[in-house]
Chain A
């Protein structure tokens, strides 16, 4: 043994398990002619390298600089010693030395689903490959993970791939450390793996394998609607450029105006109908393949049917092998939208597709790999230059989000979120693990999915909750569920105010001990029994104080005011003529007498809950400006207002402020009255832009003044309104011009999908102390 021989014992922290890290280390060591071993240990990877110092250094350099696509190296700790003498390099099976062979680092010990990688795609294209034309090929860098896993440790035996024993060819690769399919649990080929079929009706499969794909393509070309079972669920698919079939899809699904996501074969195709900047191109090409909201091209008329009244369109690139193979036969972009009834979870099997949605689809391209965990597409958008999650699900679940520092102590938590756009989350130690998108849980199917998500998440993470956190809203199904759950076990129940949860998530993501936060959204139950939604809070992870926000107004007709936002004008305007005109124009009232009844209802305070909701303010403006008088999906009036404002410029407008128990409040009535007056003089686009800018400036000013008074350095902005690009940018300008730092959500959704995360943060920070009832 030469004198300059050394041994480096190494521990690597980060997302390093179940992502092909050990084979990567193995290959690196072999290339450098270094001996030693690598193994999984707990949540980290341990390795030892022996050789001359410069070879070992070069291996360490590679580990720090390059790593497999799904991994993330946070830290490499090295201990140098004299060599002990090793022979060759081996991947040690962690199970043989007592540690678990699984993990994704900091989350549940199971990696997320990933779009097919370039090398697997090359195999699919390669006529000489074992995997040629095979739709479900995958390797250690890619393929289904979370969606197929039943339990931990993450092994083929505990996934739905256990129904497909490896053929000899696949097994060779699975067992060869130098192969990228080494210990890739979803490995399969056409001989041994899941199969694909096309069904023209529930009874009969009319084509298999490649023929099934060709058959689906011809159905699509004929203007049919096809159900496509993919990675985490099933989609309705049709030709996006054919307004007739898209319209038929709208009719059959009862979604008159809800935007549909589109899948296009490549970026060049996307460029033909939407604007893609560098940042967005990166988002589109991310291996996890989220749906990316892009600005649609004005000239492309078929987009009017895809996303009526919006200036954006959601686009994804192909991620499953079957998508790529389908696009070998199809040139046009395809509608690719979740297959479900409104308010129900997406279907995950051919049987359910035909049973529940047989009246929607003309055919189905389906496979026999069981989807164990339903996982909807993730949706992102560039807001004020940064990626924002509208939905964090496939590709990210079950990775962890940041916990509050030094919160290692304290109870394990289950957080249930609000009632719509729900995720659940579990937390202990230094991890908070949110579930996939669960969606609306105000019905039995949604609640069943929530229960399934809770069971799976607690099982995968091994977290046994001591505390269950839910919203403060007394009528939410999740509140009731949490009460029952807390009664069944020894768990405590913690009810967390909705906007505190939103803001606490922001604290955790930015490691803020205390901050001023603007939380703007549609609905959150306040401890005073009114509906909050345009709030400025002084907040810590454990507590909050409401310091200001929008002035109170009312919602004449209660829930009806959300469906028909013109009703809100009866509370915001003093101009009877204008109110009646809007009520009649938006079909809320059929006669002037009826319009008068809605006004009287507002005046007399009958069935008119009190609110400070920023979302409702935007909805009301949307109705005032004749942009949208009827909400047919979540957020529609405000989203259409954003679209209407897109080509406008804000006009200068004076804001009036009032006071509510010493809190600063923006006078919404004066503001809407001014906006109504502006409509005589300025185009719709300018008034819409002014309405947004005024909201941003009003809330921004209250927040900045509060921060100055209280000596706080940061102003945060979150809630569903933080998806609005112009409002976010305007608030950011106010905040930074005042010399303060600005914080917005990073990896957590700004909307209600991020509430369970915030609830978990609050529960951890409070150590379970709270409202127990």
Chain B
């Protein structure tokens, strides 16, 4: 056709954690960066982290660069996000006890020192909460305008018994899908803060390390697959999990916990809480026999009081998630970079 989209430059959509991101990774990154074949979970798996077997144990690693605007927001800040993000990526691999975190700070010239300090303070406090420590690091300063404020990269390393990692691709038919708490808090709270929307109520990010909660879940029963529903939200996470396992799922929309303020704000803004980021939640696939025990264990944890079974893995509709809205059934689609109306 004429006027084709220019696919040659990176757009913000490539970073939104949605279809475009996958495309960027699969078509541009992976051809260059092949794993060396010595991992049980490598780059190609596009999981939350990598797993390397070493004798009867396995090393789990993960890395994430954190930027957020504004750097401080209701419920958290950049420092808390940088630690929780990496601790959670390890946790959803089944590694709930981090051995080491690294911290690489890239700071823009002109940033007040007090801001850097407050980020570091928050990182320390979050480490304490997650019972982990930053054991190595690096700092760089860039010229004014070369980056926006502060970028924090953290890498996490953990050691677990060989074969005990939990992939995001492990769902099988009959598994229950458990969500550890209400969705949409981080995305909506951050948006409201950034854009200065005067949304009534107490919007707060859920950013928190959830390794303790995940440990309790793993203790209670067989968890087959896990993912933290960050960028792209619950909708993206659940679709990715069923696609990777080549199974289907039905999700009961009315069972998905959503806070009142998030629900009403989402409605006002036209944003579906299922589509936006969370930073303190986990979506688990659980063996049906253990579902109740795992749910109970998660609910006993302070961060999991509102956990719920939200769906079930099926063998029909492979690769798709059917959302039962209470009025009818439709496919739960993944948000693209920009929300695209599809109704005529």
Interface-located stretch among A168-176, A261-269, A593-601 = A593-601
At the interface, yes or no: B342 with Cβ under 8 Å from chain A?
Answer: yes
In the bound complex, residues from chain A placing their C-beta under 8 Å from that of B340 are 473-475, 525, 531, 558, 609
Point out the residues of chain B lying under 8 angstroms from A634, CB to CB: 343-344
Known: A443-B328, A560-B267, A607-B269. A527 touches B344 (CB 8 A): no
B196 touches A559 (CB 8 A): no
**Which of chain B's residues have a CB closer than 8 A to the CB of A528?**
3, 5
| Distance between Cα atoms of A71 and B339 in the complex (Å) | 49
- Whether the pair A558, B341 counts as a contact (CB closer than 8 A) is yes
Most buried by A among B198, B327, B339: B339
Chain A binder among B102-110, B163-171, B329-337: B329-337
A561 contacts B270, CB within 8 Å? yes
Q: Is the CB of B197 within 8 A of A543?
A: no
CB pair A609 B342 closer than 8 Å = no
Check A341 against B328 for contact (C-beta < 8 Å).
yes
Chain A residue nearest to B20 in the complex (CB): A474
| Chain B positions within 8 Å of A562 at CB level | 341, 343
Which B residues are in CB contact (< 8 Å) with A46?
none
Which of B2, B19, B344 contacts A751, CB < 8 Å? B344
Instruction: Tell me, yes or no, whether B138 is within 8 Å of chain A by CB.
Output: no
Expressed in whole angstroms, the minimum distance between the Cβ of B170 and any Cβ of chain A is 23
Given contacts A419-B342, A474-B336, contact A442 B270 (CB under 8 A): no
Residues of B close to A421: CB separation below 8 A: 344
Give which listed residue, B3, B196, B334, contacts A527 with CB less than 8 A.
B3
**Cβ contact within 8 Å between A443 and B330:** yes
* Closest beta carbon of chain A to B269's beta carbon, Å: 6
* A 703-728 contacts with B by CB, 8 A: 720
Complex Cα spacing A544 to B339, Å:
26
Given the known interface contacts A420-B343, A720-B344, A771-B1, the answer about A444 and B317 at a Cβ–Cβ threshold of 8 Å is yes
Q: How far is the CA of A591 from the CA of B328 in the complex (A)?
A: 31
Say yes or no: B344 contacts A604, CB within 8 Å. no
**Which residue of chain A is the closest to B267 with respect to CB atoms?**
A560
A556 cross-chain contacts in B, Cβ below 8 A: 270
Instruction: Report if A442-B330 is in contact (Cβ < 8 Å); known contacts: A521-B344, A770-B1.
Output: yes
Q: Which residues of the other chain, B, contact A606 by a CB distance below 8 angstroms? A: 191, 195, 269
Whether A557 sits at the interface, judged by CB under 8 Å, is yes
Shortest CB-to-CB span from A356 to chain B, Å, is 10
Establish whether residues A523 and B343, one from each chain, have CB atoms under 8 Å apart when the complex forms: yes
B2 to A544, Cβ gap below 8 A?
yes
Asked if B271 is at the interface of the complex by the 8 Å CB criterion, the answer is yes
Check B200 for interface membership: any CB of A closer than 8 A: yes
Cβ of A545 < 8 Å from any Cβ of B? Answer: yes
B interface residues, how many (CB within 8 angstroms): 37
| CB–CB A609/B191 < 8 A | no
* A445 smallest CB distance to B (angstroms): 7
Is A500 a contact partner of B1 (Cβ separation < 8 A)?
yes
User: A604 and B195: CB pair below 8 A?
Assistant: yes
Q: Is B157 positioned at the interface, with any CB of A under 8 Å from its CB?
A: no
User: For chain B, what secondary structure do more than half of its interface residues adopt (helix, strand, loop), or is it mixed?
Assistant: loop
Residues of A within 8 A of B160 (CB): none
For window 629-670 of A, CB contacts with B under 8 Å fall at 634-635
B1 cross-chain contacts in A, Cβ below 8 A? 472, 496-497, 500, 527, 543-544, 770-771
How far apart are A417's CB and chain B's nearest CB, in angstroms?
Answer: 11
- Give the complex CA separation of A559 and B267 in angstroms: 11
The reply to whether A596 and B331 contact each other, CB–CB distance below 8 Å, is: no
Residues of chain B contacted by A559 (CB below 8 angstroms): 270, 339, 341-343
Most buried by B among A447, A524, A561, A634: A447
Within 8 A of B (CB), among A411-446: 418-421, 442-445
Choose among A555, A597, A609 the residue with the greatest number of B CB atoms under 10 Å from its CB: A597
Name the residue on B nearest A445 (C-beta): B329
In the complex, A419→B19 CA distance in Å? 19
A383 touches B (CB below 8 Å)? no
Cβ B198 vs Cβ A597 within 8 A: yes
Residues of B within 8 A of A202 (CB): none
The answer to the question of A683 belonging to the interface, with a C-beta cut-off of 8 Å to chain B, is no
Residue of B at shortest CB range from A661?
A: B3
Q: Write out the residue numbers on chain A whose beta carbons fall within 8 Å of the beta carbon of B341.
A: 523, 531, 555, 558-559, 561-562, 609, 611
Q: Complex Cα distance A342/B269, Å?
A: 25
What is the chain A residue whose CB lies nearest that of B197? A597
Give complex CA distance A421, B340 in Å.
Answer: 18
Among A419, A445, A531, A558, residue most surrounded by chain B Cβ atoms (within 10 Å): A558
State in angstroms the CA–CA spacing of A444 and B270 once bound together.
Answer: 25
Contact A752 B344 (CB under 8 A): yes
Expressed in whole angstroms, the minimum distance between the Cβ of B324 and any Cβ of chain A is: 10
Judging by beta carbons under 8 Å apart, are B336 and A475 in contact? yes
Q: Are A597 and B199 in contact (CB under 8 A)?
A: yes
Q: Mark B309-326, 1 if CB is under 8 A from A, else 0.
A: 000000011001010000
What 19 additional pairs, Cβ within 8 angstroms, besides A593-B198, A635-B344, A720-B344? Answer: A341-B327, A420-B344, A421-B344, A442-B330, A443-B330, A444-B322, A444-B329, A447-B331, A472-B1, A474-B336, A475-B334, A475-B340, A527-B3, A555-B341, A558-B341, A559-B341, A562-B341, A588-B268, A609-B338
6 pairs of A and B residues whose beta carbons are closest in the complex: A557-B270, A560-B270, A522-B344, A443-B330, A558-B339, A527-B3
Provide 15 A-B residue pairs closer than 8 Å at the C-beta atoms, listed in order of the A residue: A342-B327, A442-B342, A473-B340, A475-B333, A500-B1, A527-B5, A531-B341, A546-B3, A559-B270, A567-B270, A607-B270, A607-B339, A609-B339, A634-B343, A634-B344
B residues near A, CB below 8 A?
A: 1-5, 19, 191, 195-200, 267-271, 316-317, 320, 322, 327-331, 333-334, 336, 338-344
